[in-house]
């Protein structure tokens, strides 16, 4: 199946799985539902259990993502060592993966030089994106963060067209336009109350996030389609880039922090460990989400998270919520939800048409021809699963560092 059939879009920003592959989905960056309840014939008890699982998954992901953003901002308000902070997060995530391996939940991949070389573009854009994102959060309010990074969806659509040749359908341009309008409303209303460098870093972060989505998909074959191996390589190898960068740029600030000790020192280490662990948990939540949540459910939960994040920014950090900022956030969320709804509807229409074509084809085929069809279909589903898991890796990387998914 050609990559040009997929248009990576951020969902906001996790990761192979031994579970049966989910249904083919044309937009792999939003987790598909494993089951369409409206069409299922599940017994009432089993259906209720599935709904509880969806609720638990969404709640878990919501809480983990909010903790990431708020704790990141809490630490960045106290210390001026964002690269060293990122290094601690990466090392903590790698340590959690090794602990998971001890319990048989994950198998540490064998490190090969050829694999490391093949993943060089991924590691480079990952480290650059993490740095832009963290510096952006340091320069802007938590309540404005979603606006500063509001162009992730438009940039991803643009890069998908340039690199993969994927052109969105006409109705999707309306949703993309609403998102762009939200960014302009949010930024223009600030009257430079937010630093220009913070907005610039948000735009650069949006571009790297969009590029990261495409690079991840192209890097997946390097690790034989295993999204978890890709997650391990990405975190592990990124530490070797982040360590010298932190040493060169922040040695003096780190030494001052160690000399100060006290609450600042404690804030840094507690925040680094908490966000590292929650980054790992978000990775696990992504695997659960890819199995049981629908695209619309995911985007609605992201919208709820955006509202709560804004409210927490006002409450915890005393952010000022202007009418323009509120309007910008509302338009960005509305455009993102509309985009996901339209993509989901297009997918269902194509899926229905494909099923109808397959039904006609099946009725005309017998014996070996039917067997070949089934094998080809399973192959396509396996490929879809690999692409879907790769996108969950993107969301894990983004959420661990507080990126807003739209």
Q: What is the pLDDT of residues 128-139, one digit of tens each?
A: 999 999 999 989
| Residue 111 neighbours by CB distance under 10 Å | 11
Q: Which two tokens stand for residue 192?
A: 């430079």
Report CA torsion sign: 9, 159, 347, 384: negative
The pLDDT, as a whole number, for residue 26 is 32
Q: Evaluate whether residue 406 is within a structural domain.
A: no
- Is residue 405 one of the residues assigned to a domain? no
Q: What is the pLDDT of residues 314-361, one digit of tens each?
A: 898 888 888 888 999 999 989 988 988 888 888 888 888 888 887 777
SS3 at position 24:
coil
For each of the chain's 406 residues, which pLDDT tens digit applies? 433 333 333 333 333 333 333 332 233 333 333 333 333 344 454 455 567 777 777 788 788 888 888 999 999 988 889 999 999 999 998 999 899 899 988 889 988 999 999 999 999 999 999 999 999 998 988 888 889 999 988 998 898 888 878 888 888 999 999 999 999 999 988 766 677 898 999 999 999 988 887 888 788 889 988 878 888 898 899 999 999 999 999 989 888 888 887 888 889 999 999 988 888 887 666 555 655 666 666 666 777 777 888 888 889 888 888 888 899 999 998 998 898 888 888 888 888 888 888 777 776 665 544 444 443 444 444 444 445 555 555 555 555 555 444 3
The encoded tokens of residue 373 equal: 């069809």
Q: Report pLDDT for 319.
A: 86
**Rounded-to-integer distance, Cα 46 and Cα 49, Å:** 5
3-state secondary structure of 100: helix
Nearest alpha carbon to residue 22 among 391, 280, 276:
391
SS3 content of the chain, % helix, strand, coil (to 5): 80, 0, 20
Q: What is the pLDDT of residue 245?
A: 93
Q: Tell whether 142 is covered by a domain.
A: yes
pTM (predicted TM-score): 0.71
Domain total of the chain: 1
Note whether residue 334 is domain-resident: yes
For residue 205, give the nearest of 8, 7, 402 by alpha carbon: 402
How many whole angstroms from its chain centre is CA 406? 9
As a whole number of angstroms, the distance between CA 45 and CA 185 comes to: 47
Domain encompassing residue 303: 3-400
């Amino acid at each position: 199946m050609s990559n040009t059939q997929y248009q990576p879009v951020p969902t906001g920003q996790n990761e192979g799985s031994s579970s049966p592959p989910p249904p083919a989905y044309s937009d792999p960056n939003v987790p598909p539902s494993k089951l369409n309840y409206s069409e299922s014939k599940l017994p009432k008890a089993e259906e209720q259990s599935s709904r509880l699982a969806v609720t638990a998954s969404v709640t878990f992901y919501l809480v983990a993502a909010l903790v990431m953003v708020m704790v990141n901002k809490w630490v960045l308000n106290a210390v001026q060592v964002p690269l060293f902070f990122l290094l601690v997060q990466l090392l903590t995530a790698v340590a959690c993966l090794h602990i998971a391996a001890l319990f048989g939940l994950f198998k540490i991949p064998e490190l090969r030089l050829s694999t490391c070389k093949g993943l060089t573009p991924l590691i480079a854009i990952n480290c650059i994106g993490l740095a832009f994102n963290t510096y952006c959060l340091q320069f802007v309010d938590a309540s404005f963060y979603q606006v500063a990074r509001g162009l992730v969806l438009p940039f991803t659509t643009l890069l998908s067209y340039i690199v993969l040749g994927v052109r969105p359908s006409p109705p999707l341009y309306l949703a993309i336009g609403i998102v762009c309008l939200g960014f302009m409303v949010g930024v223009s209303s600030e009257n430079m109350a937010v630093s220009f460098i913070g907005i610039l870093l948000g735009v650069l972060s949006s571009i790297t996030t969009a590029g990261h989505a495409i690079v991840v998909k192209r890097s997946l074959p390097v690790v034989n389609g295993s999204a978890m191996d890709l997650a391990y390589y990405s975190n592990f190898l990124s530490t070797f880039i982040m360590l010298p960068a932190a040493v060169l740029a922040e040695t003096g600030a780190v030494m001052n922090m160690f000399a100060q000790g006290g609450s600042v020192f404690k804030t840094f280490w507690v925040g680094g460990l908490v966000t590292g662990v929650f980054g790992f948990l978000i990775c696990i939540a992504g695997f659960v989400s890819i199995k049981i949540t629908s695209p619309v459910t995911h985007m609605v939960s992201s919208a709820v998270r955006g509202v709560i994040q804004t409210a927490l920014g006002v409450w915890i950090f005393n952010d000022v919520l202007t009418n323009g900022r509120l309007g910008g956030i509302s338009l960005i969320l509305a455009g993102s939800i509309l985009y996901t709804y339209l993509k989901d509807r297009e997918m269902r229409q194509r899926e229905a048409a494909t099923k109808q074509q397959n039904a006609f084809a099946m009725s005309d085929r017998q014996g070996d021809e039917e067997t070949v069809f089934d094998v080809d279909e399973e192959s396509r589903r396996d490929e879809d699963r690999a692409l879907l898991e790769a996108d969950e890796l993107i969301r894990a990387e983004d959420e661990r560092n507080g990126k807003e998914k739209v």
